[in-house]
Every structure is written in structure tokens, then in C-alpha cells.
Structure 1
Amino acid sequence: MTNSTIHRYFAPASTGNFSVGFDLLGVAFEPLPVGSAEPELLGDVLEILAEQSELSLHISGRYRHQLPADRSDNLVLSCFYAFEQAVGKPLPRLALHLQKNLPVGSGLGSSACSIVVACYAFNDYFGQPLTQLQLLQLMAEAEGGVSGSVHYDNVAPSLLGGLQLMLPGSEQLSRTLPWFSHWRVVLSYPGTVLSTRAARAVLPAQLSLADSISFAGMLSRFISALYCQDEAEAVAALQDLVAEPARTPLIPELPALRHELTAKGVLHLGISGAGPTLFALCPDDDTATVTAAYLQQHYAKNADACTHICQLSAAGARALPKQAATNGQRI
């Protein structure tokens, strides 16, 4: 059975932690538009092509080759069954097409992006049986199955957009924070894979009282500076006291790159999520252009590498314009 209309959905890439907020801060990003061209979609696209007797998934996109060859192990399919269980009734099976545009194990929220676009798409397509809160909880649980722990700092910004502060113990789960609109963020992925599980395995099992106070203090300082729109104070507070000391041996280029880019005017260079993607916080477009060129030259390692000049993505997951199915459309 085929539909005459293809339902299309998108979820953006995200940076977890943002240096100062381990597991508590996450940001959604989108590439800056170039000239009059439409902005590039930095994230995954899921198309619902048809209802049919069995669930099926076709995969395309730049990073298709990084996914398991066995499609039955794909997150999109596991999200369908988890969504169906959450709804509490059988749902029609679908023909699906995933455009995998984010590299796997990159620190750009790749698994979270696939989870968010899938769950958002199913909820929209089936008439929104789950509330946004239920949807976010479902996404976080699915992400926990991949990373080894339930955390919201990638799924929340990918779903909601913006800079999100996680609110443990609150029914709200996260809150959108202010941002500096002139900030540009260069995201540079070297082309190598670093699994979130492996990156979490090197972290300390616990923090001392002094380190815990320092971590809480820096995060409080950063959030206060955002609300006061004190840019210098916000930049000064961007210190990773939890993950970076343990993960720098996994990304040995970081200290030298930070030294060089600071001299070029970069405000901060940090690890995006679990890495190996790095994010460079820039004060303006010119600095971002110089930084992107430098990272592409000195950090890229193979053909899978990519570097993007980004702004904050105020919009998170969303429906894209529908398309008419053409004759011979693969389903």
C-alpha cells in the first residue's frame, strides 16, 4: 500500500555538556546560510513513505556507511516499537527512509538525533498521542540504551532547540536559556569515531567535595552571566572541570589547537559531547571563517571529516514540507 504524500521530519545536531555543564547543558546548532541559499540541514531526516504490512527501513545519506549493516538493529526501528509500547496499542507498520546526515560516535548527538526525529515523526504522524514531556522521557530512555546512562543533554536540545538546561527532579525536565545572538560556533569533526560508552568509561567514578563545589560554581556563574548578558563573564566560566581532564588523552590535539585558536580570537575551544568533534566559540563571522579553515586543515583526518560554521538553532525537531510520491518511489 502506498501513500500519495511523503511525510518528512528533521531533528538538528546537538552539542552536549558545552564544557561547563556536564550532562546538564545541551545546544542545538544549524549551519549559517550562505548567500541566498537555503540553510543546510545539519541533522537527520526521516521520511514516512507509506503504511504497509511490515515495518521497513531504507537508509541513505553521507554517513550511511557508519551504521550497522543489519538494519533490524537500527535505532529508528527500535524507537517505533518503544513508541508503540508507550502508546499502548498496535500501530500500522510503516515504510521509512532515514537520511543519515550526522556521523556516528562523533559528539554531535548522532544517536540522539535519530531517536528524536523518529519519535517526533511517529508522534506527529499518529496524531500526537504522547505529550511533549512523555516524548522527551521516551527519547532519553532510548538514548540511555545507546550511551549506557539516561541523560537529556542531547535529546532535549534536538527536540526543543536552543540552549537547554536540564532540571533533574523537575517535571519540566529542561529549560531554555538565553544566548548571545552574535556568537558563532564552529563544529569540527575529524572523521574518526569515539563511542559515548568508551568516552564515559574514562570519567572519574566520583568527584571530591571541592571539585563538586567548583563544578556547581562554574555552571552557576555561566547561567548567571547568560541572564545578565555579560559575555566576558560567560566566556570565563566555560571551564570543563569534569570530562575534559579525563578525555584529553583521547583527543591529544586539543591543547595545541586551543593555544593556536585562542591567538586567532576564538573565545573557547571545547569537546562537543563525548568527542571527538570540537566546538570553537567565536565572537563574530570573520573569526569563525578563519577558525573553520584552520580546523579543516589541522584537525580533519579522512574523507568523513566535516567542519561547519553554525548559529544556535532556535527550532528543534520539526516537520518539513511534505512531498508528493512519484511513480517508482522506493518504499
Structure 2
Amino acid sequence: MATYFAPASAGNFSVGFDLLGAAFAPIDGSLLGDKLEICGEQAVTQLRITGRYRHQLPEDSSDNLVLRCYQLFQQRIGRSLPGLALHLHKELPVGSGLGSSACSIVVACYAFNHYFNQPLSPQALLQLMAEAEGGVSGSVHYDNVAPSYLGGLQLMLPESKTLCRSLPWFEHWRVVLSYPGTVLSTKAARAAIPAQLELATSIQFAAGLSRFVSALYCQDEADALAALQDVIAEPARALLMPELPSIRQALTELGVAHVGISGAGPTVFALCQTDAQAEDAARYLAMNYAKNQDAMTHICRLSPNGAQVLKDETHAVS
């Protein structure tokens, strides 16, 4: 049996709509993301699903993303593969803004490529992941699959050969991720954004992203924080997340440096400069943003690792 893991991710990161994405890991050492077990080979591929958020998925798993990825993987490598007994541990909520679909796609594609001795290069595998994610969100973009696959903070470069690039970070930064327990469709959230932007807004967006990336490389923390303004997604999605202004005000009063929407929401993230701020922010969000038992709040650091092998007791020979 082989077990694989891919971490949660936050797309956009306020200033980089569709162009920035970060993978996060709780500071307590727990795993925040999905696991996939390849239990063995058999005549027909079958998928069993368990995990905290299993109930958010359809009972019938025959059209699950993991199985779709196995079909796409076989098509991409150009040959049929044996049936597999698969077990998905679904630990990320659906429609949460934490890259749930991307996480399932990444852990599946990574697992299949590793299990069958890596017929796809890292770049080809990332491209396959993005195309699979495009079938869910309605457009091909890399800002969730890239960090979930590679770890860290990734800048998307879709027109380049590398597709993305890892960016510097501030090691003392903590990011509190808080999911309220409700679902917000990625397609609906994207539909709220206008198809065209005013020239002034486009210039402001380009300037903010450039400033943020430059500040990271220069390790200018004040300038990096000042650049974190969402001029595209957040204004358009204001009606979908009416609690955000009051949350931002309360957390700002606690000293939190920045509050933004994780991906398409409804998860929010609080960027904190100290552990004490992160603890205060996590306490506030857990008490005031949680709507039901599905809610969760984690104090996180940037995850240096993306998709990985947790255990490999047996390995196929292709």
C-alpha cells in the first residue's frame, strides 16, 4: 500500500488574482489536506471515501475527481493501466476557498505518477492538474494546484516554460485560515467578477502585484504588507461575504496586519506578524465566524512541502 498527501492552498492571496497561491500547514504539526491510499491492483478501479468532509460529497463516488484524474492520467500517458483499489481521506471542505478540488486532483495525479514510476515530467504533471481543475472551476488556472503540488508561495507564469515560480516569504508570518462551515461555489464566485476591468483598475492590480513580489525579494516587510490590496475579486464578491468588513475591523483592532479572502471564499485568512496576534485572531474567528460543526480554524505557516509520499510499502513496476 502507498499513501500520498497534498496540502490545502489559498489562491489569489489578495493581491494576485489567479496569479498567486500558497500552500499552508498548521503550526501544530497536523496535516491540513487530503490523503489518498493506493491499496493494490484489481480488475476494476474502485474508490472508497472517508474523512471529516465525506458528507459534503455525493454518496455515489463513481464520478469523483480522483477517478476522473485516473482516466485523464491514462489518456495523457497513452496507455491503459490496471485497476486500482483507492481510498480517499477527504479532510478539506468542498467550496471552501481552500483548494479542495485542487487538493484531490493534486494528490491523485501525484500518486498515480509516482506509483507508475513517473511517466510524466513535473511540468507535464502540473499541466494535467491544472486542466483537471479547469473542469471544476470553469477555467484553467494554476493558483491552487501549483502550491498544493509544489508547496510554498507560487507566482503563476502560465506563458512560460516553468508555469510557476516559488517566491520568498517572511518566516515569522503566521496565517490563520478560518472556514465558517458554509459552501461558496467557485463558479458562482468567479461569475461575480466583471469580464472586463477599467484601465485604472488594471494598472492598480499590476502595480500592487509587482510591488508585493518586489518587496518579498527585497525582504521589505512593511512594503509587502502595504501592497496587499485586492482590487479585483473582493469588491466584486462583497455581497457574497457580507461579514468580511466587520471581521476585518475586529481583527485590525487586534493588531492583525491583513485580512483577505482565501481563494473564492468563504474561508478568510488573517496574516499575522507574531504568534500572539495569530492566537488572538484564531480565537476571535473560531468564536465569531463559525456557523456549524463543519467550521474549522487553523494557525498556519507556509508549507515548504507540496504533494508527498507518506508511506510506500509496495510499488508497481510498469
Distance in 2 of aligned mates of 1:134 and 1:94? 22
Q: Which residue of 2 aligns with 1:312?
A: 302
Note the C-alpha offset of 1:88.
0.3
Task: Write the letter of the residue equivalent to 2:25.
Answer: E
Divergent runs of 4+, >6 A: none
Q: Secondary structure at the match of 2:284?
A: helix
Q: Which residue of 1 aligns with 2:182?
A: 192
Distance in 1 of aligned mates of 2:84 and 2:204? 49
Task: Write the letter of the residue equivalent to 1:94.
Answer: L
Note the C-alpha offset of 1:321.
2.3
Distance in 1 of aligned mates of 2:127 and 2:17? 19
What does the per-residue CA deviation read over 1:216-267, in whole Å, with 9 as the maximum and x for residues that have no partner?
A: 0000000000000000100000000000001121111100110110010100
Distance in 2 of aligned mates of 1:248 and 1:73? 33
Q: Which residue of 2 aligns with 1:229?
A: 219
Distance in 1 of aligned mates of 2:177 and 2:186? 18
Calculate percent identity across the aligned residue pairs: 70
Distance in 1 of aligned mates of 2:312 and 2:72? 25
What does the per-residue CA deviation read over 1:150-199, in whole Å, with 9 as the maximum and x for residues that have no partner?
A: 00000000000000000131011000000000000000000000010010
How many residues align? The count is 314
Q: Secondary structure at the match of 1:308?
A: strand
Q: Which residue of 2 aligns with 1:209?
A: 199
Task: Write the letter of the residue equivalent to 1:303.
Answer: Q
Q: Does 1:59 align with 2:42?
A: no
Distance in 2 of aligned mates of 1:298 and 1:236? 26
- Report matched runs for 1:1-331 at 5 Å: 6-33=1-28, 39-322=29-312
What does the per-residue CA deviation read over 1:268-325, in whole Å, with 9 as the maximum and x for residues that have no partner?
A: 000000000000000011110110010011100000000000000010000002369x
Distance in 2 of aligned mates of 1:239 and 1:323? 47
Distance in 1 of aligned mates of 2:254 and 2:62? 47
Task: Write the letter of the residue equivalent to 1:59.
Answer: I
Distance in 2 of aligned mates of 1:321 and 1:85? 27
TM-score scaled by structure 2? 0.98
Q: Secondary structure at the match of 1:310?
A: strand
Q: Secondary structure at the match of 2:249?
A: helix
Distance in 1 of aligned mates of 2:112 and 2:67? 11
Note the C-alpha offset of 1:213.
0.5
Note the C-alpha offset of 1:124.
0.1
Distance in 2 of aligned mates of 1:59 and 1:321? 19
What does the per-residue CA deviation read over 1:89-143, in whole Å, with 9 as the maximum and x for residues that have no partner?
A: 0101100000000000000000000000000000000000000000000000000
Distance in 2 of aligned mates of 1:41 and 1:195? 24
Distance in 1 of aligned mates of 2:200 and 2:227? 17
Note the C-alpha offset of 1:209.
1.0
Instruction: List runs of 5+ in structure 2 lacking aligned partners.
Output: none
Distance in 1 of aligned mates of 2:9 and 2:245? 23
Q: Secondary structure at the match of 1:80?
A: helix
Instruction: List runs of 5+ in structure 1 lacking aligned partners.
Output: 1-5, 34-38, 325-331
Task: Write the letter of the residue equivalent to 2:262.
Answer: S
What does the per-residue CA deviation read over 1:32-73, in whole Å, with 9 as the maximum and x for residues that have no partner?
A: 02xxxxx11100000000100000000000000001122111
Q: Secondary structure at the match of 1:103?
A: coil
TM-score scaled by structure 1? 0.94
Q: Secondary structure at the match of 2:52?
A: coil
Between stretches 124-133 and 66-75, larger displacement belongs to: 66-75
Distance in 1 of aligned mates of 2:111 and 2:313? 15
Task: Write the letter of the residue equivalent to 2:142.
Answer: Y
Q: Secondary structure at the match of 1:9?
A: strand
Distance in 1 of aligned mates of 2:313 and 2:189? 40
Q: Which residue of 2 aligns with 1:329?
A: none
